[in-house]
Structure formats: C-alpha cells, structure tokens
Amino acid sequence: MSFVHALATRALRGLDPEDAHGLAIQALKAGLGPVAGRDDPILATELCGLKLSNPVGLAPGFDKNAEAFGPMLRAGFGFVECGTVTPCPRPATLGPGSSG
C-alpha cells in the first residue's frame, strides 16, 4: 500500500462507517484507487465458466450500486460482486453485539 493510500485508509477509519463507505466509493469513481500490476498467470482460474486472472473476489455489500467495479478490478480483484442494487435504500442497522 502506498503512503497516500495508507493515509487515506487511516482518515477513513476515523469517520462514521456509512460516510467512509460513501467517500471511498466517490474516491474510487474519481480514479483515486490503487492500481495493481498484472497477475501472475499461475493465479488464473475459471469459475462458473468465467476466466478470472486470480481467485480473490470482492463480496457484495461494498459496491452496492455497481458504481466502482472497474476501479476495484483495477485494484487487483479477480472478480467483483455488486449489489444489492435497490431503488429503496435504507440506513444501515447495527447487528447483535454492536455497541452503537
């Protein structure tokens, strides 16, 4: 991780999680995300008929509205799952064991 990305990560961790999430998506859309090098061919894999350059994917919940899958693929993920896309977004709720 570059110094700039380490600094940005530290700053994001000081924010409300929903604000940090939104800001991260905006930064990615603005082209401020990291760019990974080419994957070693040994990492190439096939999943459900899809050829992936590596087997590490981003789970749904981060790119809820399919806004930043390009930047996340450039950051090095082998695949990105988007969603859930919904016309009726709701604020996040805290799960059991959360202190907030």
Task: Return the number of the residue (31 or 60) whose C-beta is nearest ligand FMN.
Answer: 60
Task: Return the number of the residue (41 or 95) whose C-beta is nearest ligand FMN.
Answer: 95
Task: Return the number of the residue (35 or 59) whose C-beta is nearest ligand FMN.
Answer: 59
Q: 9: closest CA among 31, 24, 30, 26?
A: 24
Output the smallest distance, CB 86 to ligand FMN, in A. 10
E-state strands within 16-78: 45-47, 50-52, 57-58
Output the smallest distance, CB 84 to ligand FMN, in A. 4
Q: Side-chain half-sphere of 6: how many Cα atoms within 13 Å?
A: 3
User: What's the distance, CA 91 to chain centroid?
Assistant: 19
Output the smallest distance, CB 58 to ligand FMN, in A. 8
Residues 32-91 binding ligand FMN (CB under 6 A) are 59-61, 83-84
CA 35, 18, 86, 46 torsion: positive or negative?
A: positive
Interface residues with ligand FMN (CB under 6 A) are: 59-61, 83-84
